[in-house]
Amino acid sequence: MSANCDKNELHTNIITTANELFYKHGIKEVKMDDIAAALGISKRTLYKHFDNKEELLYEGVRLEQARTVERAKEIIRNASGTMEVILSLYYLYINRIRTINKNYFRELEKYPKVIEENQRQSRKNEHKIRAWLESGIKEGIFREDTNFEILLYIVKDSVKFITTTTLFDHYSIEQMSDTFILAYLRGVSTAKGQQIIEEYIKKNQKTE
């Protein structure tokens, strides 16, 4: 393996390890010293790759987004219909965030560059979700009188509330997400769509 390959591999390992620590402990609690120690490298070596925590956090968010996109592509290829795509992507997201310390999401607000990147990706995702919702109308699984612009705004706001609020820390992420987001999804679905939702949930519960 070339020195360049070794450098690239270390670069990715640093990002991955930092992400794991941020997810477990929150951003504030993790110091650059902690990341270097977890990797078994010097802080000097760490700073050769990343100037500060925000830069490392930013690259971590981008890496996770790229990995999520690849998993999402596989889901879309294997899904049998629009509702299965939406539900599978929903559970992909929930299964990811439920293992993350809520402090991570709360503390992200202090990093403008990271927030801007998340908002950019969110806008990109909204276009795709809107297309799936419109496709769902054609499939007869969503109500034609649904205002999807309002729905998307509510869902996005609900996700932010779920991941940052301290009011319901005694409930799990799954409980809160199902109460908020699945309730909205059921509300805009036709009888056919609601049946698909219930069948998917039962199937998903059996395989957990």
Q: Do residues 17 and 46 make contact, with C-beta atoms less than 8 angstroms apart? A: no
Domain residue spans in the chain? 3-207
pTM for the model stands at: 0.81
**pLDDT reported for residue 3:** 46
Task: Tell how far CA 28 is from the center of its chain.
Answer: 20
Q: Which fold has domain 3-207?
A: Tetracycline Repressor; domain 2 (1.10.357)
pLDDT value of position 207: 56
Mean pLDDT (10-residue bins), the chain, 208 residues: 65 95 96 96 94 94 92 90 90 86 90 90 84 90 90 83 79 80 89 93 69
Give the closest residue to 38 by CA, choosing from 21, 55, 57, 58.
21
Distance between CA atoms of residues 82 and 205, nearest Å: 20
Q: How is 35-91 classified by DSSP, letter by letter? A: HHHHHT--HHHHHHH-SSHHHHHHHHHHHHHHHHHHHHHHHHHH-SSHHHHHHHHHH
Measure the CA–CA gap between 106 and 161, rounded to whole angstroms.
10
pLDDT at residue 2 in the model: 44
Q: What is the pLDDT of residue 205?
A: 66
pLDDT of residue 195: 94
Helix (H) or strand (E) holding 119: helix 112-138
The pLDDT score that the predictor gives to residue 208 is: 54
Give dist(CA 34, CA 25) in Å, integer.
11
CA–CA separation, 92 and 143 (whole Å): 25
Q: What is the DSSP letter of 141?
A: S
pLDDT attached to residue 90: 86
